[in-house]
Amino acid sequence: MTNTPTLLPATDEEILVQRLLARDEQALRTLHDQYSRNLLTVINRLVRDETLAQDVLQEGLLKVWLSIARYDATRGRLFTWMVRVCCNQAIDAMRSPRHRFNSGTKPLEVSGAQRAHAPASFNPEHIGLRELTLKLKPKQREVIDLLYFGGCTQVEAAEQLGIPLATVKTRARAALVVLGQMVK
């Protein structure tokens, strides 16, 4: 099977563009059915992550739908323009802080964390964790204090601090990265 895109003849492509400009949702479905497989192949070569590629494809097709008025048939075929839109979307996704953060983490199965068994009487004070937390930024330290020494859940810590749950998670993750570097 070849990955060569099945391009519509120029007249069919022009009709499709006109339908997209008229905000015909059926045309968007046709666009997806006709081009998504080939666009996904191109995106996957850039991002090398199937899940991210799927997300980029959906965002890229949305961008095509929203910006179809910018398409200029005199400068190239519709597929070529869509590849450019989707590739730009892929590059933006890979440059995003969220992607860089998520690509730096490993699943627990890979990291070996499940192999380390904590003793039944684990106490963070025994390993000097309290002293290490003094080197954290104050906002990170207050989250770690609530989570590890105060026995709070992340939701409870967010409520006590009056901050969003996502902020608690971000601060906790950042603190754990810093603590991990201190221990090495």
- Mean pLDDT of residues grouped by 10 in the chain (184 residues)? 53 89 92 93 90 92 93 90 92 78 59 53 58 85 85 88 92 87 72
Predicted local distance difference test score (pLDDT) of residue 108: 55
Predicted local distance difference test score (pLDDT) of residue 125: 52
Predicted local distance difference test score (pLDDT) of residue 21: 92
Enter the pTM of the model. Answer: 0.51
**Contact between residue 112 and residue 119 where contact means Cβ atoms under 8 Å apart:** no
CB within 8 Å of 53: residues ≥ 6 apart? 40, 43, 44, 47, 90
Predicted local distance difference test score (pLDDT) of residue 152: 85
Predicted local distance difference test score (pLDDT) of residue 1: 47
**Contact between residue 12 and residue 30 where contact means Cβ atoms under 8 Å apart:** no
- The angle, 0 to 180 degrees and rounded to 10, between the axes of the packed helices 25-47 and 50-66 is 140
Predicted local distance difference test score (pLDDT) of residue 26: 93
Predicted local distance difference test score (pLDDT) of residue 7: 53
Predicted local distance difference test score (pLDDT) of residue 180: 80
Predicted local distance difference test score (pLDDT) of residue 144: 85
